[in-house]
Amino acid sequence: MLRRCLEIATAILTLHPISIHHGKLIDAKPRHIVVGVTHSQTCMVLRGRLRALREAGFRVTLVCSPGPQAERVAAEEEIVFVPLKIRREIAPLHDAVALLRLSLLLFRLQPDLTEFSTPKAGLLGSIAAWIAGVPTRIYMLRGLRLEASRGLQHRILAVTERLAARCSHTVLCNSPSLRQRAIEMRLAPANKLELLGDGSSNGVDLQHYAPGPCSLRSRLSLPASAPVIGFVGRLTYAKGIPELIEAFDRILQQRPDAHLLLVGWFDAAEDALSHAWCNRILNHPRIHVTGMIPDTAPYYHAMDLLVLPSWREGFPNAVLEAAASGLPAITTLATGACDSVVHRQTGLLIPPGYPSALCEAILSLLENANSRHAMGDAARDRVIASFDLRQVLARTVAFYQNLAGSARFRRSPAAT
């Protein structure tokens, strides 16, 4: 009774609205969370997550660079969008301006929680949240860009990751291997690095991504009986696109009827493909490039298997989507990617950077339909068991609610 009275008195003194219902203390003011990423394109991975937080009672504000994808996601998820220009590349003057604007925004909004992710927004947003004194600061570690860097750039990126982690109360890791790698690189103390379940920031909508008939092959100029190797994502060096193209040309020597379907776009990032590679891809008679596709679900039905020869990942959504669609995947032993496949059970794992190994793995699945179908079935079973969208988002919401509640009691005189 004494503690309840102290809590009520504290809430009144701090002008925090509350109510009493059946003898329990109830918050009348919804928790406010600011979620920030660098680029508008990244907002696609926030689908479902933002809505789940809103439906759980949070007031959600999205912050990122202006762009149609961000506006579309904010409208779909029914949350507030604040456009704020953040450059992906290193740009000291622009970064200083973005940091100042982020800090002023957070001072004005006074959120209860912040969640910033992707390298640049993760750094600037975490610092700004620390400056603004946000009670609960979360750095969402979606991958380690520094793993694909060398020399001075590698050292700079390592410092920025440590600084983002230091300014945050919690570093939420996207996969088990990503957490382990962060520990090995001493990016943050182990007790600050959190992993929910088996990983993944969103999970997969099992009804939307499911096995089904193909209705796209004719429109994509893909013969109904031809073996189709699929890729979904950004067309960049870090995604292993050059290795995939080289492997595909070798595959054609043994399977001249094969086609390569690239469901993605030429991203103008630091790891953008050269003009020579872009022209080679666009002029290849057996390679089909779709450009950016808002809904990739039907495209998995046109594939026989998915390939992701990435050099670095957090936890690849494309592999989980393919698995939910009943497809096996071939990906690499790189951080994050290795968590998305159980080797020889739901797909195959190979070292990154080896076109010959990629070619051999693809041919082994193309030439053994029974093994390919068994792996696809096992992949869907695994997604159902561990990566159902509802389960993953429920864990996230519960974790954030617990963090928000703990932060309030840490600040409350009644809790000290």
- Mean pLDDT across the chain: 89
For 340, other C-beta atoms within 10 Å of its C-beta total: 31
pLDDT of residue 407: 61
Domain boundaries, the chain: 14-202+390-415, 228-387
* Strands in 106-158 per DSSP E: 113-117, 136-141
Q: Where are the alpha helices (DSSP H) in 219-270?
A: 241-254
pLDDT of residue 148: 76
Three-class SS state of 232 = strand
For 73, other C-beta atoms within 10 Å of its C-beta total: 25
Is 351 within 8 Å of 240 (Cβ atoms)? no
pLDDT of residue 61: 97
Q: How far apart are the first and last CA of the chain?
A: 16
Residues of the chain with pLDDT under 70: 1-28, 407-416
Of the candidates 203, 205, 184, the residue with the CA atom closest to the CA atom of residue 193: 184
pLDDT of residue 7: 40
pLDDT of residue 63: 97
DSSP element (H, E) containing 231: strand 228-234
Q: What tens digit of pLDDT does each residue of 130-168 get?
A: 999 999 999 999 999 888 778 888 898 899 999 999 999
Task: Please state, in angstroms and rounded to a whole number, the distance separating the CA atoms of residues 295 and 402.
Answer: 33
CATH number of 228-387: 3.40.50.2000
pLDDT of residue 178: 96
Superfamily of domain 14-202+390-415: Glycogen Phosphorylase B; (3.40.50.2000)
pLDDT of residue 408: 52
pLDDT of residue 11: 39
pLDDT of residue 18: 36
Between strands 80-83 and 24-27, the pairing is unpaired
Domains 14-202+390-415 and 228-387 share a fold: yes
pLDDT of residue 59: 96
Token pair in block for residue 169:
């109360």
pLDDT of residue 92: 85
Between strands 24-27 and 136-141, the pairing is unpaired
Is 132 within 8 Å of 106 (Cβ atoms)? yes
